[in-house]
Amino acid sequence: MKTSLKYHIPFYSFCLLIFAESSVPSDAFPKLEFEFSDKIVHMAIYFILFLTAYYSFNNQKKFKLLNENVIFTSLVFSVLYGALDEVHQLFVPGRSCDIYDWLADVAGVILAIIFLLLIKKFVNNKKNKSYYIAHDTNK
């Protein structure tokens, strides 16, 4: 197995999981009991999709554009995948294409971007503090 494949398996697997799950008629799933539970599930799924896309695109070497603009390309992919998944559900018994589900998908992607940027900022701040502590001239 190529070592670079380990970066892509989570992404490919999650895309397949979303497609498989959305191919199952809706009456096959248990009903969640709280308001907007469906939208929260959509947000969580697309939060994870964005992160796996980011991880995959950032670690590939074939297409320079993907990792030069990794946040943007992961955003575009995730949002388009959500839209295509909603269209796909038009052809599944008991499912429908719902703009509000897609908006929840987009919200999950936006939350993932915010999460990623906060993590990056935290890591960079830690690196900067470590640098200044290691190079403190007052010692």
The structural domains of the chain, with segments of one domain joined by +, span 5-134
The residue count of the chain comes to: 139
What pTM does this model have?
0.82
User: Rounded to whole angstroms, how far apart are CA atoms 126 and 44?
Assistant: 28
pLDDT at 28: 55
What are the C-alpha distances in Å from 52 to residues 1, 25, 38, 115? 19, 26, 21, 13
Of 39, 86, 76, nearest to 54 (Cα)?
A: 76
Alpha-helical runs (H) found in the chain: 5-22, 37-58, 64-68, 70-88, 99-134
Question: pLDDT digit string (tens) for 2-12?
Answer: 557 888 999 99
